[in-house]
């Protein structure tokens, strides 16, 4: 490995260490992060005015937090992930002092209310004080209840809690399955939990009141199951921080990545900055080959600077105005017949696209707009728009219309050396084909060229490969839908809907009827589908940027996704999806479609029975909050199988599967294995990285 690689790596490692040094970090007094809020909840720092507490708000030393009537909030300490969960009408103050080993000496003053403490991987001491008592924790789960007079009840569900009465100094050990009561007069009693003991429940279902069909979790346009993304996955704080506050999180990474079949060592800084409704994520990565040479194609043009922005956002879908520029993950428009779980980041970091998703939601009118890649805007590339209007006909009725247009599907063909010749046709993969052919024609005689072509020493430059600019094919799809929210509340939503989509110059598809439901952490939906000939649902899906155009070895030509519509038979069948989020620990989502396709050769005058061909699609993802598992920092897996006879036929085009596992080597230091495989033409295209991730 060359000196250049050594010094470059040393320089970036020094930068990473400087960021990791608590003494120099601007936000080293950040002690906790807000995980969940529901109903009225707010916070105050240093006796300033109260500010609404939102998902992702960072909390500092001496922060006061309170919940109102029907308000819930959950926070996690940043050193070990220990959680505090507040029920309604609870008020507390957080104190924390960062230690040399990056742990936090934690102290909580609970003035009144009901608080649940979940300590799994304790790194720093934690004490919770009430007006009468002090609870010292040693890795456990327990409830502390403080009534308006200051009397304290302790309920230990797991582990041991040491409870001390501040009036008398009496101390007792309260183990699993026991409760204790400490009064303002100094009395202390304890006993075993009985069936009559009331143990509080903590409701952590997210707020869902008044949601429409484009933002209901697990419902059409909802958030069930996100595809793999880019650097934001280490923190995913951009979605969490949309509500307010200011903060900076930083990931650093060193490791190896395989890009276009070549292995690179990389060093990167991945800052994620948010302030108010604004947020920005950057991907500042340097890739070096085996000889220590910088991958110059990442830095050789002004446009490459745009690629360093992973995302820039204002607000979130459902707000009066929102916009996100950069990577687009998990975008569903309406009830999903046209676009469901679309991502322009499916091939990151091999292919980086800068897209736009923007819009707004008013009291009655809502709009959205999407552009897949600014580099394709002149062609144009993929454009989509949606509008909704809500009225009332006895019950609320939401009518929507969606349109999507891809101006040239051939833009999906990969052209690594940017010479206008797709990789599959490229006669000179590392050079501009036109320049190379002109050079050879000027250097050699026609006879010499013929001989070298026959001998195989040079490509057949007498028949140059087609230029991507000479290939063009577009596709347009439009659709309408109507949804009726039977139930629309904070805890429960139930929608009934119908939708239709038309692929211009091809067939139509219908969902009659469709049902979408969510209750707290559970979400599900189902619909009956009817497809005319030459129709394909979810045309713009998670794998669209891969399926958009593929190379056919058999035909020695490119095959677009649109060309697969010709001759596609009519069909009918079911679509269903379901998801479940368990206590911020596990999130599982799956969507399944099974259709029966008619036999296009069936003749009722001749054939007594029509044989229908089954066709199946599956998308599934599971992610685990690995905090309770020793040495495991993160774990997730995903699988998509589009339009196949066998949902586990991994060689079908567009099949995508992968996993990410992170092992905690030390506080704030993880080794992350990221393995993703995308199948094209029956062959796997593997994108694998092994990186050391610093969280600070």
φ, ψ of residue 86 to 5 degrees: the values are -105, 130
Query: What pLDDT sits at residue 365?
Result: 95
Could you read off the pLDDT of 349-400 as tens digits, one per residue? Answer: 667 888 999 999 998 999 999 999 988 888 788 999 999 999 988 889 999 9
Write the pLDDT tens digit of every residue in 272-286. Answer: 777 778 888 887 777
Predicted confidence (pLDDT) at residue 238 exceeds the cutoff of 70: no
**Are 176 and 160 spatial neighbours (Cβ–Cβ below 8 Å)?**
yes
Least confident of 5-9, 68-72, 420-424: 5-9
Residue 479 has what pLDDT? 97
Report the run of H or E that residue 609 belongs to, with start and end. Answer: none
Please, how many CA atoms are within 13 Å of residue 336, restricted to the half-sphere of its CB?
31
Among 10-19, 298-307, 618-627, name the most confident range.
618-627
Is the pLDDT confidence value at 71 over 50?
yes
Residue 2's pLDDT is what?
41
Residues 414, 423: contact at Cβ < 8 Å?
Answer: yes
pLDDT at residue 19, rounded to an integer: 37
In three-state secondary structure terms, 305 is helix
The whole-chain average pLDDT of the chain stands at 78
**613-635: average pLDDT:** 73
Determine the pLDDT at residue 661.
Answer: 84
Question: Which of 475, 640, 545 lies closest to 327, judged by CA?
Answer: 545
Strand partners, 591: 577, 619
Query: Could you write out the DSSP letters of every residue in 360-387?
Result: EE-SSEEEEEEES-GGGTTS--EEEEEE
- The pLDDT score that the predictor gives to residue 403 is 97
Tens-place pLDDT, residues 193-231: 887 778 887 654 433 333 344 443 333 343 333 333 332
User: Of the given ranges (108-117, 617-626, 650-659), which has the lowest mean pLDDT?
Assistant: 650-659
- Asked if pLDDT for residue 562 goes beyond 90, the answer is yes
The confidence score (pLDDT) of residue 216 equals 39
The better pLDDT of the pair 47, 101 is held by 101
Highest mean pLDDT among 517-531, 633-647, 649-663: 517-531
Going from the N-terminus, what domains does the chain have, and what CATH number goes with each? 3-192 (2.60.120.1440), 244-411+474-592 (2.40.160), 414-470 (no CATH)
pLDDT of residue 323: 94
Q: What mean pLDDT is predicted for residues 687-691? A: 71
Using pLDDT thresholds of 50, 70 and 90, give the confidence band for residue 626. Answer: low
Work out the average pLDDT over 631-653: 73
CA gap 668, 16 in Å, rounded: 12
């Amino acid at each position: 490995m060359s000196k250049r690689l050594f010094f470059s790596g040393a320089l970036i490692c020094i930068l990473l260490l400087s960021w990791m040094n608590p003494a120099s970090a601007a936000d080293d007094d950040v002690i906790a992060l807000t995980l969940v809020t529901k109903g009225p909840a707010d916070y105050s720092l240093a006796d300033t005015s109260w500010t609404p507490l939102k998902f992702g708000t960072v909390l500092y030393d001496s922060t006061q937090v309170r919940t109102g009537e029907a308000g819930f909030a959950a926070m996690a300490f940043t050193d070990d992930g220990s959680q505090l969960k507040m029920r309604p009408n609870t008020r507390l103050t957080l104190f924390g002092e960062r230690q040399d080993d990056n742990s936090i000496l934690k102290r909580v003053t609970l003035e009144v209310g009901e608080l649940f403490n979940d300590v799994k991987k304790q790194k720093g001491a934690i004490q919770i004080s009430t007006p009468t008592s002090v609870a010292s924790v040693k890795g456990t789960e327990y409830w502390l209840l403080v009534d308006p007079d200051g009397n304290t009840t302790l309920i230990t569900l797991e582990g041991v809690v040491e409870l001390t009465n501040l009036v008398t100094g009496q101390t007792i050990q309260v183990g699993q399955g026991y409760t204790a009561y400490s009064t303002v007069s100094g009395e202390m009693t304890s006993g075993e939990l009985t069936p009559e003991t009331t143990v509080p429940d903590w409701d952590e279902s997210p707020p869902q009141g008044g949601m429409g069909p484009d933002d209901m979790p697990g419902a059409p346009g909802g958030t069930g199951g996100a595809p793999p993304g880019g650097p934001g996955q280490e923190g995913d704080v951009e979605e969490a921080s949309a509500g307010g506050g200011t903060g900076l999180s930083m990931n650093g990474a060193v490791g190896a990545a395989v890009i276009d079949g070549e292995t690179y060592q990389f060093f990167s800084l991945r800052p994620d900055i948010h302030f108010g409704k604004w947020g920005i994520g950057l991907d500042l990565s340097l890739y070096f080959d085996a000889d220590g040479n910088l991958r110059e194609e990442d830095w050789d043009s002004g446009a490459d600077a745009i690629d360093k922005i992973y995302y820039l956002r204002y607000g979130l879908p459902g707000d009066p105005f929102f916009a996100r520029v950069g990577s687009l993950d998990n975008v569903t428009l309406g009830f999903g017949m046209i676009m469901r779980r679309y991502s322009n980041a499916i091939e990151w970091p091999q292919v980086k696209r800068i897209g736009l998703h923007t819009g707004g939601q008013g009291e009655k009118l809502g709009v959205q707009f999407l552009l897949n890649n600014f580099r394709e805007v002149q062609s144009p590339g993929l454009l989509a728009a949606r509008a909704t209007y809500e009225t009332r006909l006895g019950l609320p009725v939401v009518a929507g219309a969606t349109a999507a247009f891809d101006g040239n599907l051939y833009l999906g063909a990969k052209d690594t050396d940017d010479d206008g010749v797709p990789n599959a046709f490229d006669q000179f993969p590392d050079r501009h084909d036109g320049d190379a052919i002109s050079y050879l024609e000027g250097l050699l005689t026609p006879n010499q060229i013929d001989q070298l072509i026959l001998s195989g020493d040079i490509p057949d430059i007498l028949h140059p490969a087609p230029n991507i600019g000479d290939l063009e094919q577009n596709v347009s799809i439009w659709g309408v839908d109507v949804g009726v929210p039977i139930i629309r509340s904070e805890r429960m939503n139930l929608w009934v809907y119908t939708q239709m989509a038309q692929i211009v110059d091809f067939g139509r598809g219908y969902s009659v009827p469709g049902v979408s439901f969510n209750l707290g952490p559970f979400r599900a939906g189902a619909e009956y589908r009817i497809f005319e000939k030459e129709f394909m649902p979810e045309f713009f899906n998670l794998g669209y940027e891969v399926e958009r155009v593929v190379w056919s070895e058999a035909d020695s030509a490119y095959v677009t996704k649109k060309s697969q519509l010709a001759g596609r038979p009519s069909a009918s069948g079911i679509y269903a999806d379901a998801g479940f989020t368990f206590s911020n620990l596990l999130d599982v989502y799956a969507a399944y479609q099974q259709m029966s396709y008619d036999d296009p050769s069936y003749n009722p005058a001749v054939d007594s029975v029509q044989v229908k061909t089954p066709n199946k699609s599956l998308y599934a993802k599971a992610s685990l909050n690995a905090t309770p598992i020793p040495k495991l920092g993160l774990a997730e897996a995903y699988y998509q199988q589009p339009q196949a006879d066998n949902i586990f036929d991994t060689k079908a085009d567009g099949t995508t599967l992968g996993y990410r596992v992170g092992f905690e080597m030390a506080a704030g230091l993880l080794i992350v294995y990221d393995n993703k495989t995308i199948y094209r033409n029956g062959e796997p295209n593997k994108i694998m990285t092994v990186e050391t991730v610093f969280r600070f």
